[in-house]
Amino acid sequence: MKKTLAPQKRDKSLIPLSREHHFGLLFCWKIRQGLNNGTDLELLRSYVRYFWENILKAHCEEEEWLLNRLLKEDDTVRERLAEEHHLIHSIVELIESGNKINSKIQKELFKVLERDLTDHIRWEERELFPYLQAVTSPAEMELAREMLNHKHEPRLDDFTPNFWIPKVQAE
């Protein structure tokens, strides 16, 4: 029987970032669906570029900004976060230049991005955020929330066309 994880009690300062994690997981699902639907790779590439520029890039920058303020400089969690963000950005860059490589490798890059970003978000939600809440005082978390509220703008994924919705097959 599969063990379900209890919902994590999230400090209110981290809620905007957790909400965007939902968009990130949805982004990964859309990429998976697009590949399953045989979506044109150029359209998928456009979506990856759109999502990076409008949501993911700023999200990563905010997380790093927050951790740089709340954790000690030698904390390995800060390093892991920065390395994983750099890896995700590198994969996005490879996808953006993907028209120079064959379609089989391009498809694999989309799969790598989907898998690595999903794993990264799960790590942040299940390990990073609880760790951050445990090692940071409530006063520091409150200050971080106030600072993040000034820095954070809600972002939405309103990319079109909706390539992730399967086309009805002709009878």
Domain ranges of the chain: 12-151
CA distance 122 to 103: 29
CA distance 18 to 14: 6
CA distance 112 to 103: 14
For range 53-72, the mean pLDDT? 92
Percent helix, strand, coil in the chain (nearest 5)?
A: 75, 0, 25
What confidence category does residue 171 fall into, taking pLDDT thresholds of 50, 70 and 90? very low
| Residue 61 pLDDT > 70 | yes
Least confident interval from 60-64, 69-73, 101-105, 150-154: 150-154
| pTM for the predicted model, two decimal places | 0.88
pLDDT, position 7: 53
If one counts every other C-beta atom within 10 angstroms of the C-beta of residue 167, the result is 9
pLDDT, position 4: 57
Please enumerate in sequence order all residues whose Cβ is within 8 A of that of 37, keeping only pairs 6 or more positions apart, or say none.
163, 164, 166, 167
CA distance 77 to 35: 33
The domain covering 12-151 belongs, at the CATH homologous superfamily level, to nmb1532 protein domain like (1.20.120.520)
Amino acid identity of 111? K
| Residue 2 pLDDT > 70 | no
pLDDT, position 74: 92
Tokens of 89: 């950005």
